[in-house]
Every structure is written in structure tokens, then in C-alpha cells.
Structure 1
Amino acid sequence: MKTKNILIYSGLLLGGLLFGYLLFGGGSSEPQSMEEHIAETHTNAEGNVVYTCSMHPQVREDEPGDCPICGMELIPANELGEDNASTQNPNAVKISQAAMALADIQTTEVRKEIPVQETRLPGKVVVNQNLVSNITAHFPGRVRELYVDFTGDYVRKGQRLASIYSPELITAQRELLETARFKEQNPRLYESARRKLMLWEFPEETIDQIERSGEVMQELDFFAPVSGYVSDISISREDHISEGMVMYRIADLSKVWIEFEAYETVIGRLSKGDEVAFQVSSLGGQTFKGEVNFIEPFLNADSRTVKVRVTTENPNTRMKPGMFAEGVISSGSNQTERMLIPRSAVMW
């Protein structure tokens, strides 16, 4: 019995020694340094957990909180899987894949080029004043009939606009008929009578008709000298008109102006020939291109702006005068090549 108890106690002692060896003596025989311990556990010398920012790893705090730079919540440094603080470059930024996805971080190459300044300007579509025609009366008279009587209507060159009674027209017709009888003897007088009616913008077909009929027409039709859209009508039926009076205004919209408003702070960087990329708000984000062909020489004292103009083609008259537009003007620079990065990449 005594021998049996000795064996039991001996077994327990050996088991305790083996357990102690495995628990305390089975690792590396070399003691771990404080720096290795900090690097492995991401704690400081006092054993406290170090907290850092996923966007700014140079931030190291002893307790949780918010990043003093961006305000993001600090997390334990070991969650970043980064290098230890002793080897971390203070100017380097290292973040986790999850933080990159959350921040939607994108990269681009740094390139060396001559800087090009881009200026955004608001604007609108306006009528090209070089393609506007005023249809005026060349003689006094009375309007008997209007064949085009509302604005916005499209007229073609040679289309009948109105019928006019005028004593001067009657006199001019009589002169034509009288000189036509003696055109063999006095051709210059005959040509002068015809030219008078032609200068009043009557077509040759109308003049030939007067000659063939040999009769004076009491009313003569007035025809459009150009094609375009009627933007203004200044006469009504039975109105009396005088020589030089504007009766119609017709605008050709095959080319239009885009007029931008440039504030005085950016005028110095703009010049004729600058490239412009612009969009018209009503045309679904389509981008058009042109170049600056006019910069107004006078500053508007109320708005502190000048008008910057672009002339552009307008197929199918898609751009309507009055539509809003927004343009980006690219201005060249006299500077030498420089290292360029996107403006959005500059954080402070």
C-alpha cells in the first residue's frame, strides 16, 4: 500500500513538471525584446493598445477617439496589418483595402506638361446678329393684306409677305410701261425704269408680268429677300407705312451665338482663339466645341462681367435662342513644363 502511494505521488509530480515545461519552456529560448513585443501586439511600452486612423496612419493615440485630421474613428493599429511604428515613414499613407473601397480612392499618373487653365462660365444661346435681316419699306403706302402674320414662322427667300397699295408704285409702273414702248429708241431710260422696281426688291418675274399685261397693278405683292424665321412683325392689315419703316425682322438660325458671362477676375486669362467645350442644358448633356471669337471690350458695371462669344453651327435649329448653356474655356499658358496632378488630389 505504501509503495503504491509513492508511485502515485511520483506520477503526479512528473506530470506537473511536464505540464510546466510545455507551458513556460516550450517556446523560443531567446527572450523577446520590448520593441518586438510592441511590433507584434501593437501596444506601447506600457502595454496599452495603440489606436490609429485608416486614412492617416501617422496618427498614434493611446485611447480610442476621432482622427484629429479627418475626424474618422480611430481603430486598433493591429487591424490595419501595417508595419510597426519604428519603420513607418511619417509621410507615407497606408490604408487597408476596406478603407480604400470606402473612400473610393483612385490613382492617376503624375505628368509633366505646360499648364492649361480651365474656366467655367455660364451662358445662353442668342441669335447671331450677323444673320438678322430687317425688311423695310422702300416707299410709302398702305398694307392691304398680310400673308405672314405671326412670329416664329419660317419663310423662304422669294416667299410672298404682304400686299401693298402705293401711289408711288403706280407711278413707277406707268414709267415702266411708257419707256417700254420706246425702249428701242431710248434703252437707257427703259433700263432705269426697270432698275427702280428691282431696287425696291420686286422680282424680275413681277416686272415682266407688268410689261406683258400692259396694265398698272393697283396692289403689288412684297416678297422676302432672305430665308429665315420671323422674329418680329411691326405692321398689321390696313396700316399706313412710310419709307424706311421696318416691317419684318427675319433671323437665320443656321448659326447661333453662345454668349458666356465672364467675371472680371478671370478676364485676364481669356483671349480670342481659346478652345471652348460647352453643353446646352436642354440637349441631354451633349458636348459641343468651338473657339472664342469675340470678347466684349466693356465691363458691365452692374454684374461686373463681360460677354465672351462663340459662334457655332446649329443643324436642325436644335439650339433655340434663350436656352441656357455652360462652357469650359481652356486657356493656354506661357509657362514652362511643370509637374501636374489633378486638383482633386490636393487635400490641403
Structure 2
Amino acid sequence: MFGGAGRVWHGRDVVAALVTPAAAQTSDEPIYYQDPDGKPVYSLTPKATADGRAFRPVPASADLNFADAEPAPEPAAPVATDGARKIKFYRNPMGLADTSPVPKKDSMGMNYIPVYEGEDHDDGSVTLSPQKIQRSGVQSEPAAMRVLVTKVRAPGSIQLDERRVSVIAMRSESFIQSVADVTTGSRVSKGEPLMQVYSPTVASAAAEYVSTIQSKVTGGVPFYGRGSRQRLVNLDVPEAAIAAMENGGPVPTVLQWTAPRDGIVLERNAIEGMRAQPGDVLFRVADISVVWALIDVAERDLGALAIGQSVRVHARGFPGRDFTGKVAVIYPQFNRDTRTARIRVALANPDFALLPDMYVDAEIDTGDPQPVLTVPESAVLDSGDRKVVLVELGAGRYAPRDVKTGHRGGGYVELREGVTDGEAVVTAATFLIDAESNLNAALKGFTDTGTTP
């Protein structure tokens, strides 16, 4: 750099030139001049840059002091205040367990955050300013008594009512003479003809019964015919055919078999001219005006189930339509592969909309009609082995409280311990307050075992 009379100043010359007598250092007159852009270019006399801008005068009060000074005393405990509150210490802005008795910056240049008296409580509570509460979106709601509407949702399928299925099978060797115009899937009514059958055994028993009836009319033993009639009943001869014999009809050689109930033909094995052995299933008819819904309920929901609970079933083939029923049976078997248990619900099916093996979704009402103490589900912080809510203590203070939860439903959870009716709990920004509370607890533990500010 250049000085007066064209002298050049470098290094130690600058330092020597800047050290002036004490009288000059106490004056407000400039002791040298510096480049207006702050560059390390100085002059002992007024000077201008190449573009005509004047150098900045530097008085002695703004100059660096190169004289040896006494060591600075250790900083005392902070007494700085913010309004009426006193600052106790400063904590690390990144949440580390590091405090300072005086203002400082961390390695990234961030200011340490002041902690005021009353903000570090032994109960783990945290105090937030109204501005911080507003910025964080903190919301509270009092714990109240409510009736929880708890619904268990589970999949299932439609099955036949076992009590409404009939099988037509011959009890003696028979021959199918003819079959009615009935096929699998046809709807039949009780008493409707299905087939005509010839059976030597049945024909022999029918002839014996007819002769017994005739002998009774001509003065025979009155009770002799009971055994012959019972034999026809044991051979499953239709009651209509037996009644025709008793009314004076001829000995039938071919008998007509009819439908035993109203329903749908699920199976038709009878073929005209075939030979049927005893036990062969010729027809299977089922009444599907009432069907069963077999629902597979998850293991975690078993404790809430009970006989008689209301169930709504939604068939995937009929969106928007509900089929209602009640829990009739809780099966005593458990499926270890799917971790489910099965329940049975009887459903009215007057228009035959529900068909066997159809998939359905069920909603089971398992709520208790008695009101219980509840809070919104968002108020509970669940770490797996501990459940906590943040209770509002007033004046911006919030304290964590251990609770025991019960049933859930409708967006609410039952609290069995930890909170009383009417206490306000935080329902929004709970994680922010919990983080602040945990940070305060960590800092307190640090200061208790380390250096106390």
C-alpha cells in the first residue's frame, strides 16, 4: 500500500505505523485511512481510489489494540432477562446435551437457545409461549365419557344352511323309469314330481300291504297291517303313494318320487333307465331362502365377540346393499395358518341374491353400550411398551402422563388409567411437544450430572 510522499507500507511497517502515542489513541481524530471497500489497503494521509472514492477515516477508538492486556475474567452466571423472565442458561439448538451459561454459537454458527426460569420442571413438563403454540398448531380436547362404536371388519363366504338340505336316495335296488324336466339349478316346490322308479322290493311290500288291507275289510285281524305299512315307510315310499293304497288303489308297480322341500336342485344324478343301488344320491335339493355367512375374524378381535351381536354383510356382487343378521355361533376351532377364528351368521335371502361360495365382507358391532372415558386417537403417543398423553396444565404448560388404553372406535380410544374426566389433552402437534419435553429432560439430566450453569 502507499503512504504519504509515495512511500510504500508493507507488513511490520503497517503495524509500526498504526501504533501511535496514547494521546493520539484517545482522540477521535483519524489515525489512518482504509480503502472504502474494506480491502487491506491503508494510507496515513487522505487518499482516493482510482475511480475517485475517498478512503474511509479510522479513529483511534475503532483501531485494533496490539498492546498486551490483562486476561479477561471468567464470565459470571447469566443474569440477562427477556422482559420479566430471567434466562437460566442456553441450550444447543440441535438438541444435543450441551448447555452454556453465556450466549454462544455452535459449530455451524447457530445461536444457542435461551432457557428461562420456570421452563425446566421436575415433572418433565414443558412450557410454550403463545406464539410457539400458535405456530405449532397445538390443539387440546377434554377427556369425556362416550359410548364407543367399535366395528370389527372381516371377510367371509356364503354357505348353505346345513339344516335345509335334502338328499333323495333309494333304500333298495331300483330302476329309473322316467325323470321329470328338472335339471341342476332348477327351482322346485315341495311335492313336485321328480322321477318314476320301479323297485322289486317296494313292489313286493306294496302288494303285501294291499292284501293286508283287503283282509281287514273281509274280517281279518285288524292290527295285522301295521307291520306291512311300516315296511313301506322304512323303504322311503312317499306318503302320498301309501295313502293311495289305503284308499283302495291298485298295487303300484312304479312309484313317483317328489321333492321333499322348496328349494334349488344342486345335484341331479338320476338318468332314465339307469339302475340305482341303495344309497346312491339321485337328487340333492337345498332351500336357500336362509343361508349362512361364515366370517373369519382375526385373532386380535376375538375378545370383543359375543353371541347375539349385530352383523352387517356386504356382498361384493351387490354394492350398496346390506344383509343383516346376528352372531349365532362362534366356532371352537382356530386356524393356525391364517390366525383366524370362524363365526356363523344366519341371513335371510328371500330373493336368492346370496349364492353358495359367494365372497362377502362383514361389519360386526362389538361396542359396549355403557359410556367410557375416551380421548381422540391422535392424543395417544404409543412407543410400543409405553402409552403417553400430554395433559394441558394451563399457562402454556404441558406434562406427559402414562395411560392404559382399552377399546377403540369412531376415532376415539378408551383410557382406563392416567387421566380423569374433563382433563384437557393435546390432540394435535403432540410429537412436537413430546420432543420438547424429552429434550428438556435430557438437558436436565445432563446439567444435574455435569456442570450446573
TM superposition score normalised by structure 2: 0.49
Pick one of 149, 161, 169 that aligns with 1:136.
169
Give the drift of 1:128.
1.2
Pick one of 131, 143, 150 that aligns with 1:88.
131
2:279 aligned partner: 244
Alpha-carbon contact 1:201-1:223 (below 8 Å) kept: no
Work out the CA distance in 1 between the residues paired with 2:262 and 2:372: 51
Matching of residues 178-257 of structure 1 within 5 Å? 178-183=211-216, 184-210=219-245, 215-257=250-292
The AA in structure 2 aligned to 1:343 is G
Q: By percentage of residues, which structure has more strand?
A: 2
The reply to whether residue 343 of structure 1 matches residue 343 of structure 2 is no
Alpha-carbon contact 2:143-2:373 (below 8 Å) kept: no
1:118 aligned partner: 151
Matching of residues 1-348 of structure 1 within 5 Å? 87-88=130-131, 90=133, 112-147=145-180, 149-183=182-216, 184-210=219-245, 215-333=250-368, 337-341=372-376, 342-343=410-411
Question: The residue matched to 1:226 in structure 2 has which SS?
Answer: coil
CA gap of 1:91–1:246, structure 2 versus 1, over 3 A, is farther
Work out the CA distance in 2 between the residues paired with 1:227 and 1:157: 5
Work out the CA distance in 2 between the residues paired with 1:223 and 1:212: 20
Question: The residue matched to 1:273 in structure 2 has which SS?
Answer: coil
Give the drift of 1:256.
0.7
Alpha-carbon contact 1:115-1:340 (below 8 Å) kept: no
CA gap of 1:111–1:231, structure 2 versus 1, over 3 A, is farther
Work out the CA distance in 1 between the residues paired with 2:428 and 2:154: 23
Give the drift of 1:313.
1.0
The AA in structure 2 aligned to 1:216 is V
Alpha-carbon contact 1:148-1:162 (below 8 Å) kept: no
Q: By percentage of residues, which structure has more helix?
A: 1
Alpha-carbon contact 2:316-2:359 (below 8 Å) kept: yes
Q: Which has the higher mean CA deviation after the structures are superposed, 191-200 or 128-137?
A: 191-200
Give the drift of 1:316.
1.5
The AA in structure 1 aligned to 2:293 is I
Deviations 1:99-132 (A, max 9, x none): xxxxxxxxx9985224343211011222111211
Question: The residue matched to 2:251 in structure 1 has which SS?
Answer: coil
CA gap of 1:196–1:272, structure 2 versus 1, over 3 A, is same
CA gap of 1:244–1:121, structure 2 versus 1, over 3 A, is same
Q: Which has the higher mean CA deviation after the structures are superposed, 283-292 or 253-262?
A: 283-292
Alpha-carbon contact 2:157-2:294 (below 8 Å) kept: yes
The AA in structure 2 aligned to 1:224 is A
Deviations 1:162-200 (A, max 9, x none): 111111011012102211221142221224323433454
CA gap of 1:226–1:87, structure 2 versus 1, over 3 A, is closer
Work out the CA distance in 2 between the residues paired with 1:93 and 1:128: 58
The AA in structure 2 aligned to 1:253 is I
The AA in structure 2 aligned to 1:90 is I
Deviations 1:242-292 (A, max 9, x none): 333332211111111111111223223322222222211222312232221
Identity between Structure 1 and Structure 2 (%): 27
CA gap of 1:122–1:110, structure 2 versus 1, over 3 A, is farther
The AA in structure 2 aligned to 1:338 is L
The AA in structure 1 aligned to 2:131 is Q
TM superposition score normalised by structure 1: 0.63
Alpha-carbon contact 1:259-1:307 (below 8 Å) kept: yes
Q: Which has the higher mean CA deviation after the structures are superposed, 301-310 or 205-214?
A: 205-214
1:80 aligned partner: none
Deviations 1:188-221 (A, max 9, x none): 1224323433454444443344456664332211
Q: Looking at CA atoms only, which structure, 1 or 2, has the larger radius of gyration?
A: 2
Alpha-carbon contact 2:137-2:428 (below 8 Å) kept: no
Work out the CA distance in 1 between the residues paired with 2:342 and 2:263: 26
Q: Which segments of 5 or more consecutive residues in structure 2 lack a partner in the other structure?
A: 1-81, 83-127, 377-409, 413-426, 432-453
CA gap of 1:234–1:177, structure 2 versus 1, over 3 A, is same
Work out the CA distance in 1 between the residues paired with 2:428 and 2:232: 72
What is the RMSD of the two structures over their aligned residues, measured on CA atoms?
3.3
Alpha-carbon contact 1:276-1:329 (below 8 Å) kept: yes
Work out the CA distance in 2 between the residues paired with 1:109 and 1:157: 63
The AA in structure 1 aligned to 2:183 is F
Alignment size in residue pairs: 253
